[in-house]
Amino acid sequence: MAVQSKQVPRAEARVGPADAKAYELRAGEYVQIEDLQGCQVSDFLAFHRDRPGLGISTTVTRALVDGLFPLPGQGIYDGEGNRLLELVEDTVGRHDTFGIACNREYYEALGYPDHLNRSGSRSTSSTTRRSGRTGA
């Protein structure tokens, strides 16, 4: 079930394999990411507009939510402990959002130097139906 909001989406896009989309969100806006085909691993990154080098921190988020994955109502935090997003709904619960992002070095180490990856393009996709609100 999707997040029920009276807001009309500002933008909607389909993100293809090894592709990326970037959107700027304002405080209080929602982002909903849905995997229409299922079983697709992907990455979701979020950064401060005025400090693009400071983004989601898996370590800090896990410490502050006292678990491996944030639950609805909990935050997603940056490396300084500031809440970037609030998780509103998560129909998956266990996914790769808080795992290592696909990157060139990882695939090269496995012997796949030309494997497509998203980390170089700062992907903003994620896994099955994840919704969050900014400015929490």
Q: Is residue 53 part of a domain?
A: yes
The per-residue pLDDT for 14 is 81
Q: Which domain holds residue 53?
A: 30-134
Measured CA to CA, the distance from residue 65 to residue 62 in angstroms comes to 5
> How many domains is the chain built from?
1
Q: Is residue 25 part of a domain?
A: no
Q: Is residue 98 part of a domain?
A: yes
Q: Is residue 14 part of a domain?
A: no
Q: Is residue 18 part of a domain?
A: no
Q: Is the pLDDT of residue 39 over 80?
A: no
Q: Is residue 48 part of a domain?
A: yes
Say if CB 127 and CB 96 are below 8 A apart. yes
Q: Is residue 59 part of a domain?
A: yes
Q: Is the pLDDT of residue 127 over 70?
A: no
Chain segment 45-94, per-residue pLDDT in tens: 888 989 989 999 989 999 999 988 888 999 999 999 999 999 888 877 76
The per-residue pLDDT for 74 is 93
Paired with 75 in beta bridges are 86
Full 3-state SS string of the chain: CCCCCCCCCCCCCCCCCCCCCCCCCCCCCEEEECCCCCCCCCCECCECCCCCCCEECHHHHHHHHCCCCCCCCCEEEECCCCEEEEEEEECCCCCCCCCCCCCHHHHHHCCCCCCCCCHHHCCECCCCCEEEEECC
The per-residue pLDDT for 61 is 93
Average of per-residue pLDDT across 31-57: 79
